[in-house]
Amino acid sequence: MIQYQAKISKSHDSYTVIFPDLPGCFTQGETLEEAIKMAKEALTLFLEEARNPNWEIPKAKDRHGKNYHWIIPELEVAIPLMIRQKRLDAGLTQQKLAKKLEIPFQQLQKLETPRKSNPTVQTLEKISEALNGKLEVNLIINSHRTSIKKMPTA
């Protein structure tokens, strides 16, 4: 899953949030819980810039320390970016992956566009098969938390 670490620091009467891997992506909150919620929103908005297919998705670095929190953007942004990143990792163009999936090029473009994509589980399974099992989606649904621990990757 696409996720980034946010560094959350307590100031006098608020919490400041920065994403070291995403220059210009920052926010704040009055409480730690609000700061984490705002971090998810800021990350989602920042990554929506990936509507441009030439925009390179920054790699997340694993940092250590009590002030670092893993944040996942909204799924409407995370899943399309994950599909795009895995396709690029496999060295495929959109045209080549669309051909492997036997779908129109425009449909694949939509699958990789944040807020435009809404793949079914069957579509995600087909994409994973076309990428030789390289697409893995781990969903953690918990209405009280907006961050998760980093999931192990294969």
| Average pLDDT of the segment spanning 81-94 | 92
For the chain, residues classed under CATH 3.30.160.250 are 4-71
Cβ partners under 8 Å of residue 7, min gap 6: 17, 18, 19, 20, 63, 65, 67, 68
CATH code that applies to domain 75-130:
1.10.260.40
**What average pLDDT does the structure give for the chain?**
87
Global model pTM greater than 0.85: no
Which CATH code of 3.30.420.40, 3.40.50.300, 3.30.160.250, 3.10.129.10 fits the domain covering 4-71?
Answer: 3.30.160.250
Start-end ranges of CATH 1.10.260.40 in the chain? 75-130
Backbone angles phi, psi at 15, to 5 degrees: -120, 130
Retrieve residue 76's tokens: 């409407």
How many Cβ atoms are within 10 Å of 19's Cβ, its own excluded? Answer: 21
Catalogue the E-assigned strands of the chain: 4-10, 15-18, 26-29, 68-71
Query: What mean pLDDT is predicted for residues 20-28?
Result: 95
The pLDDT tens digits for 50-70 are 677 777 888 899 999 889 999
